[in-house]
Amino acid sequence: MRLLLPLRWLGRILHGLRRLALDLLTLAVIAFVVSAGVVFLQRPGIPAGAVLWVAPEGRLVYSYSEPRWSREFGRALGRPSSEVRIRDLTTAIDRAAKDPRIRALALDLRRFGGGSLPAAHTVARAVARFRAAGKPVYAYATSYSQSAYLVAAPAGHIFLDPMGAVLITGYADERLYFGKLLTRLGVRVYTFRKGKYKSAVEPLMRNGMSAAAREENEAWLHTWWSTYVEAVSRARGLAAAQVAQYADRLPQLLTGAGGDTAALALERHLVTRVADYAAFRAALTRAVLGRPSGHLPKIGYKRYLAAAQHVAGTGAVIAVVPIDGALFTGAQALPGTVAAGATVRQIDRLRRRSAVRAVVLQVNSPGGSVYAANEIRRALLRLRRTGKPVVVSMGTLGASGAYWLSTAAQRIYAHRTTITADIGVFAVYPDLSGALDRLGIGVSSVATTPTAGALSPFRPLRPAVAVALQASVDHIYRRFVDLVAAARRLTPARAQQIAQGRAWSGAAALRLGLIDGIGGLRDAVRSAAQLAKLKT
């Protein structure tokens, strides 16, 4: 009997833990339902004379990486958000600029995770439009990262915490190269590529950046930096040289300021006031109420957006389809990827919906599977044959396979700093036979034909197979160039000249005829409405 006592106690403990887990799960579900109900009940209320409170938590993204139910569940559990959808911010700010109930805009950037230059610049332009509407904009952060400062720069009042800094340093592209490591491990990587600048495979075959890759990267980095300097200097009324000098001589300038980063930012006219959060709130309250204290009517941008959507009408629709992440074949996408099967089904559904009059693809992708890109392109062509226009809006990336599928569009828009084109092809084959041999592992096989097992990673690649793989890459490259030439109305020779696997900035792509205009999602939607003969 004594021997059974520990087992009984163990059973009771396990039973208690199981009950506790079920109770916690039940509480989580209840919290989720209550939270969703509260959000629903709060939708319509927009106080008069309110401040639109924009306090983004997380990094800017073009589309969420997890489904809505997961985000809502996480919020109910108190899990901090890690992503901020750009479209939500810009739509809320633009609507509030025209809304007589909204009196001012507050940017609370303390938990803002930043984002790429095209992403941050998109939000910054919305802030500038709000201020151009004659409404005040106040910004605050404990410290401003490079992207956070770009968002805040159009504000008329920029507050910085006394212990904070404005970190403008410029842009760099740093990559790791594994050629020497793979050789030491006995791993040989066969690479097949077409295009002088197709550098994606270089980290597997080199120990440093090639001259062609350096030329390519320096070109788009220069466009990024010049665009950033121009945007900040225009927003702050400074000379471009002043902004560039701040980054170029930051260590020396900081030493001259006695190490006081906040005082340096104020001295260089990057901020309007060095003060804590309480002082920021008091100044904003005074601007809205005429006194430094009292109840400040405000509404968060998510709640405001929900309320604005709550009263929106119905009718003809311009659908926005995100292509956000690397392209893969398959039915369901993993976070950060685009599944061709799911995307094709979505496009086909939009083709059949009579209310949908046009489709805008919001592309932010480095490319991926050529098969996936071509399947999506075919679906877009089917949609266009019904008379529905297709317009592409490129975000940070619209390269390689993403540009392939974009050739199905009637118009392509990109930011000046979008990295696009990259019209080239590559394939990679690893040979692990050397590594296995060093480990004392032998490989033996039998096959019915010489081709069977030819692509096994456990044996060296036969020369005939290598020649065949390169021929396949060359064929796909020719097909890619032909698609671009036809879609962009270029001669084959001209398309070949600007292809070569080179990634171009949006500014260069416009000059070369690879896109139709510089702009964002807002411009693409307006263009789609025009093509569909809809009023905006």
Provide the CATH number for the domain around residue 294.
3.90.226.10
Q: How many CB atoms are located within 10 Å of the residue 185 CB?
A: 13
Statement to judge: residues 165 and 223 lie in one domain? yes
Structural domain includes residue 2: no
pLDDT of residue 484: 98
pLDDT of residue 14: 56
Q: At which of 310, 345, 371 does a domain end?
A: 310
Structural domain includes residue 204: no
Statement to judge: residues 396 and 331 lie in one domain? yes
Statement to judge: residues 411 and 269 lie in one domain? no
Statement to judge: residues 384 and 258 lie in one domain? no
Q: How many CB atoms are located within 10 Å of the residue 513 CB?
A: 14
Q: Which two tokens stand for residue 249?
A: 């001589």
Structural domain includes residue 240: yes
Statement to judge: residues 105 and 147 lie in one domain? yes
pLDDT of residue 17: 58
448 Cβ neighbours under 8 A, 6+ residues apart: none
Q: 222-237 burial by CB neighbour count: b if 16+ within 10 A, else e? A: ebbbbbbbebbbebbe
pLDDT of residue 312: 47
The residues assigned a catalytic role are 198, 400
Statement to judge: residues 277 and 387 lie in one domain? no
Q: N- to C-terminal Cα distance for the chain?
A: 82
Statement to judge: residues 301 and 350 lie in one domain? no
Structural domain includes residue 35: no
Q: At which of 255, 278, 310 does a domain end?
A: 310
Structural domain includes residue 393: yes
Contact 219, 227 (CB under 8 A): no
Domain span at 495? 317-531
Q: At which of 310, 325, 351 does a domain end?
A: 310
| Spans in the chain with pLDDT lower than 70 | 1-44, 69, 71, 75, 309-314, 536
pLDDT of residue 66: 77
Statement to judge: residues 142 and 258 lie in one domain? yes
Statement to judge: residues 346 and 264 lie in one domain? no
Instruction: From 93, 88, 90, select the one nearest 53 (Cα to Cα).
Output: 93
Instruction: Return phi, psi of residue 52, to 5°.
Output: -75, 115
pLDDT of residue 172: 96
Statement to judge: residues 88 and 138 lie in one domain? yes
Structural domain includes residue 52: yes
The radius of gyration of the chain from alpha carbons, rounded to an integer in Å, stands at 27
| 434-439 contact pairs (CB < 8 A, 24+) | 434/186, 434/187, 434/188, 435/185, 435/186, 435/187, 436/186, 437/186, 438/186
The domain tally of the chain equals 2
d(Cα 156, Cα 146) in Å, to the nearest integer? 18
pLDDT of residue 72: 72
Statement to judge: residues 110 and 256 lie in one domain? yes
Structural domain includes residue 12: no
Statement to judge: residues 269 and 233 lie in one domain? yes
Structural domain includes residue 195: no
